[in-house]
Amino acid sequence: SSVRDALQALTDLQPDRDQITADILRGLSATPRQLPSKYFYDAHGSALFEQITQQPEYYPTRTELQLLQDCARDIAKVVGPRLHVVELGSGSGRKTELLLQALRDPVAYTPIEISRAALLDSITRLAPLLPEIEMLPVCADFTQPVQLPSPQREPARHLVFFPGSTLGNFAHDEAIALLKAMRQTMGPDGMALIGIDLHKDAGLIEAAYNDAAGVTADFTLNLLRRLNRDIGSDFDLDGFRHRARYSVPRLRIETELVSQREQRVQVDGQSFDFAAGEAMTVEYSHKYTDAVFATMAAAAGLRVTAHWNATDPAFGLRLLQP
């Protein structure tokens, strides 16, 4: 079946215990402390993220889905036929489905996703819906170099798809490095289609990261739960609280885990002391202006060659080319 072919094609480079431990020890040793948000996404974290996307306060997903629905035909015309679509952080693949269905004669789809459970679910769902597209899934941390699988049929060009404003989860220098890596992946006549959340009323943004049902707080704390399970740390989940605030000068949500008391945490035989009230950054979610985004793209040797916008709440798709 198409599902069996897709699962057989899986490249599995999921980060192992040693890689995760090294990243966490580095983050806990920094001042101020900062843990990478990519480790939110174990199976439970990916499921919690899907729940976040259903919360009334979290506008980005539904806004971008609607934008894609409205613009997919136009996008398909601009990007042309016979593409190999490479998606970074593909999650459930709901947005991809809209894009792939609109494209003319797409050749292959390579979702790169750190959560193996989310990747397998999305492929199992998409393969039967799109049997004519070769599915070449890769379970990996997309910030690390990944050798792209080669489709059986030669594509006309590569399209890197990076929706969801996941770019916003990276600091500006990291985001530029990522855009440069995309430029390598797409090659001289490739393209990237990137979703960016646009700067807007701070109250609306802050509410999106502090939903009344508390799903986002659960999602943030799940980072500690999965680290305890996967690298044997002993974080007390009741000892930390989720805090997400929008910094207007930096145009970003800063999500932190705040230590509720003085406490000591053990990770891989090392001890880390937390003061009461000490905040550890676990995620940034940058929002963009057109000027900031275009400057970042230019720093990576890319130009914005087309754009599609949703208004109220504002959200954008940008096509980048070398």
Sign of the CA dihedral 159, 160, 165, 167?
Answer: negative
Query: Of the two residues 49 and 103, which places its CB atom closer to ligand AVI in the complex?
Result: 49
Query: Of the two residues 33 and 252, which places its CB atom closer to ligand AVI in the complex?
Result: 252
How many angstroms separate the CA atoms of 199 and 189, rounded?
Answer: 31
Residue 152's φ and ψ, nearest 5 degrees, are -70, -35
CB burial of residue 174 (10 Å; 0-12, 13-18, 19+): middle
Query: What residues numbered 2-41 form the site for ligand AVI, per CB under 6 A?
Result: none
**Beta bridge pairs of residue 88:** 112
How many angstroms separate the CA atoms of 303 and 173, rounded?
Answer: 17
Helix axes 290-299, 172-186, angle to 10 degrees: 60
Query: What residues numbered 52-71 form the site for ligand AVI, per CB under 6 A?
Result: 52, 60
Query: Of the two residues 236 and 254, which places its CB atom closer to ligand AVI in the complex?
Result: 254
Which residue from 169, 185, 222, 259 is in contact with ligand AVI, where contact means CB under 6 A?
A: 169
Query: Of the two residues 52 and 76, which places its CB atom closer to ligand AVI in the complex?
Result: 52
Q: ∠ CA(57), CA(43), CA(117), 5° rounding?
A: 120
**Which stretch in 65-73, 136-144, 159-167, 267-275 sits in contact with ligand AVI by CB under 6 A?**
159-167
Query: Of the two residues 53 and 110, which places its CB atom closer to ligand AVI in the complex?
Result: 53
**Which stretch in 145-153, 158-166, 233-241, 302-310 sits in contact with ligand AVI by CB under 6 A?**
158-166
Pattern 242-281, ligand AVI, x by CB under 6 A: ----------------------------------------
**Beta bridge pairs of residue 253:** 246, 285
Nearest distance in Å: CB 285, ligand AVI? 3
How many angstroms separate the CA atoms of 184 and 160, rounded?
Answer: 10
Query: What residues numbered 198-217 form the site for ligand AVI, per CB under 6 A?
Result: 209, 216
**Which stretch in 1-9, 122-130, 141-149, 166-174 sits in contact with ligand AVI by CB under 6 A?**
166-174
Nearest distance in Å: CB 168, ligand AVI? 6
Instruction: Tell me if 166 contacts ligand AVI by CB under 6 A.
Output: yes
Phi-psi map region of 150: left, alpha, beta (phi>0 left; psi -120 to 50 alpha) = beta
Which residue from 45, 93, 164, 316 is in contact with ligand AVI, where contact means CB under 6 A?
A: 164
Query: Of the two residues 60 and 316, which places its CB atom closer to ligand AVI in the complex?
Result: 60
Question: Which stretches of the chain bind ligand AVI, using CB under 6 A?
Answer: 52, 60, 164-166, 168-169, 209, 216, 283, 285
